[in-house]
Structures are given as C-alpha cells and as structure tokens.
Amino acid sequence: MARTPVGFAGPNPEAVRLGKRLKDAREYVGITQEEAANHLKVRRSAISEMEAGKRGVGALEMKSLAVLYERPTSWFTGESEQLHVPEDVAFLARTVSDLSENDRGELASFAEFLRSRSKVNKNG
C-alpha cells in the first residue's frame, strides 16, 4: 500500500473543485486545452495542471478564461451556488446576450406568453 509522504496533504480540495469547474466549462463550449492555453498564452500543461487542481489560477487568468468559457467568474469560485440557475436557463441567458436589443424584446414577449399560457393550464 502506497504511503503519503509526511507533510504532503495532497491537492487542495478547493483547487480541485475549481479545476473541475474549469474543465467542465471548457468542455461544454467545445474548446481544447491547447486552444485555452493559446488564449492565455501559457503551455497546454498549465491548463491541465489548473484543471487537476495542481496549479493556481491567477485573477487575470480567471477573468480571461471566464470570457472564453462564457461563464461569470463567480461560477468558477462557487459563489453563484447561492443563486443556482439550472444549466438550460444559464445556456439560454448566454445565448440571448448575443441577440440584438429588438430580438431580446421579442424573446421576452414570447417568454411572457409562455408563462401566461402555463398559468392558464395549471389553473385549468
């Protein structure tokens, strides 16, 4: 049985959680580690180490990755867990943000229509 070296506690659980979120977000938007590394101007192995919780992520790196991965920085740090939004709703919000103001208005009207229709069906 392998023994853990004295004084070695293993990866920081918070760093591992952050790394998993980074990896999940990267894969969700279909970006390779190489592409993320090029975006940050670091080696691909740096992205791998971040995702494994073995390398810290600087504030500027976090901000840059959040833009690349189309997520708020609070999502990576877990601060957004207090305001949990289902993944499909978060996807819609990210997608809608690219629409014109006029199109967003039309979408809002359609959402209101769907909401009112749903209320009618429930009260049936």
pLDDT at site 50: 96
CA 71 to chain centroid: 4
The C-alpha atoms of residue 81 and residue 69 are separated, in whole angstroms, by 18
pLDDT digits (tens, 9 = 90+) for 26-81: 999 999 999 999 999 999 999 999 999 999 999 999 999 999 999 988 888 877 55
CATH of 9-81, one of 2.60.40.420, 3.40.50.300, 1.10.260.40, 3.30.379.10: 1.10.260.40
Contacts of 70 (CB under 8 A, 6+ apart): 25, 29, 94
Domain boundaries, the chain: 9-81, 85-124
Q: What is the pLDDT of residue 99?
A: 83
Indicate the pTM of the whole model.
Answer: 0.59
User: How far apart (Å, rounded) are the C-alpha atoms in residues 45 and 55?
Assistant: 10
User: Do residues 21 and 75 touch, judged by C-beta distance below 8 A?
Assistant: yes
Contact 46, 37 (CB under 8 A): yes
| Inter-helix orientation angle 44-51/13-28, to 10° | 120
- For 18-27, the pLDDT digits (tens) are 999 999 999 9
